[in-house]
Structure 1
């Protein structure tokens, strides 16, 4: 059995500029962070069986790869021309469709399992590109490059994409002051709403002529975020996140809702909650919130029965945990 462990991610700034309609015109630039929440993928060859056994959100036996119901699993196996019958199972530490890049993490994890199983000679960049093609082209899940990159690379990472799709990836050194502010003053607060990220992102593409200026503004926040992190200035980060959120809400009517806006406003009424933004494509999932005092903030959330997630930085990308073949 081969088991992979792949981290989820949080976009800190510039998220969405990695969508093709934007970077092909204005270049992309963003800052993203891998966290200690994961998807695990296990793979085992079924040597004396004629069926694939697939366990994701549902369970399926099928003799033909074309009949596998999970689009991501099916298209990944087809992409790498897998002929062997396999048992593939996925396990996640958080719910899917919550804005943390779960689909990409699963595909990246499965590719790394197949790399080990078939002894494929592919490097990080080839894995990232394959995952992008599988998700965006084969499964028609509209989105950018950020999720695949962070799941494979991990850490705190700057990503830039040129108009001709040349991708530059730079992992930043995580100094103690950056680590402290992220792990002591950041919380993920769950809106209790799931959404289809592809539909939210596609709604923006359909309005691209009207929203380029907002993405320009979002991209301009990269340097201020890095500066505030280096200076351990959580008040400035909160202000930047609030500004980011004000721009993001103008991208599409699917980004937010009255319930989410009310939820966010009620949080900010307490002085411990300084500012934040809905992460991922929008529409639901988690709010990345900057807090003044983490202990007091989590106590307030528990009293209000609001779900939240504390997290740490994950500096490693997808990796193989076990190989029992």
Structure 2
């Protein structure tokens, strides 16, 4: 059994410049940090004594015979991406509700990819984890999402993340003295409003016209 713990994130500056449609032309950068709230994923091989081959527990409980039957898009496509057909039991828990604006969907993708690699005895780098999670969300799932959430979830901590026009992502950890870090924490407040929304759906309303936002993003 493998258990992955992937942090959620809050973003301070630079949101919008992490969309490929922007940074591949202009470059981009964000300042973001992960927080002490997490997405937990438990993965284990399922013994061949059950009437199903896959059991996926999230807001739904799925029991399936094939990968194609799995409803959760990130689970289904990550299994396809890794070419996994062995029976699995996957269980998700989170410290915060989904669709609350703290990068939970990308944390899930990072967490399931990390856990499934580990289940196969492979430990990949943080950069590879970020890059492959971005690929799955943007290219496979075709979601209108940026690239900062997957990167923050993969690396953790307070970072300046730079997106180059050639597609490269550079992570610069920002080290604060304990006193400064405590001072920052003492001046931050995070509220749960109860409002749920899907970031990809909201992004579809402005990303196609992101070039018109150059005054705000530059």
Q: TM over 0.5, yes or no? A: yes
**Alpha-carbon offset, residue 111 of structure 1:** 1.4
1:63-114 Cα offsets, whole Å, 9 max, x none, are: 0100100001000111000021100010001111111000111111111111
**Alpha-carbon offset, residue 35 of structure 1:** 0.3
1:111-134 Cα offsets, whole Å, 9 max, x none, are: 111121112353221111111111
Which residue number in structure 2 is paired with residue 182 of structure 1? 184
Aligned partners of 1:75 and 1:194: how far apart in 2? 24
1:131-169 Cα offsets, whole Å, 9 max, x none, are: 111111111221111111111111100110111111111
Aligned partners of 2:57 and 2:213: how far apart in 1? 40
Which consecutive unaligned segments of at least 5 residues does structure 2 have? none
Aligned partners of 2:137 and 2:201: how far apart in 1? 14
8 Å CA contact 1:22, 1:212 repeated in 2: no
Q: 1:115-194 counterparts in 2 under 5 A?
A: 115-120=117-122, 122-194=124-196
Which residue number in structure 2 is paired with residue 288 of structure 1? none
8 Å CA contact 2:20, 2:147 repeated in 1: no
Which residue number in structure 1 is paired with residue 86 of structure 2? 84
8 Å CA contact 2:2, 2:119 repeated in 1: yes
Aligned partners of 1:166 and 1:78: how far apart in 2? 25
Which residue number in structure 1 is paired with residue 6 of structure 2? 6
Deviates more, 1:84-93 or 1:12-21: 12-21
Aligned partners of 1:177 and 1:22: how far apart in 2? 36
**Alpha-carbon offset, residue 206 of structure 1:** 2.2
8 Å CA contact 2:4, 2:115 repeated in 1: yes
Q: Secondary structure of 1:206's partner? A: helix
**Alpha-carbon offset, residue 180 of structure 1:** 1.6
Aligned partners of 1:134 and 1:18: how far apart in 2? 16
Which residue number in structure 2 is paired with residue 297 of structure 1? none
Which residue number in structure 1 is paired with residue 60 of structure 2? 58
Aligned partners of 1:214 and 1:51: how far apart in 2? 50
Distance 1:209 1:152, change over 3 A: closer
Task: Return the TM-score normalized by structure 1.
Answer: 0.64
How many equivalent pairs are there? 216
Pick the structure with greater CA Rg.
1
Aligned partners of 1:105 and 1:174: how far apart in 2? 24
Q: Secondary structure of 2:165's partner? A: coil
Task: Return the TM-score normalized by structure 2.
Answer: 0.95
**Moved beyond 6 Å, runs of 4+:** none
Which consecutive unaligned segments of at least 5 residues does structure 1 have? 217-325
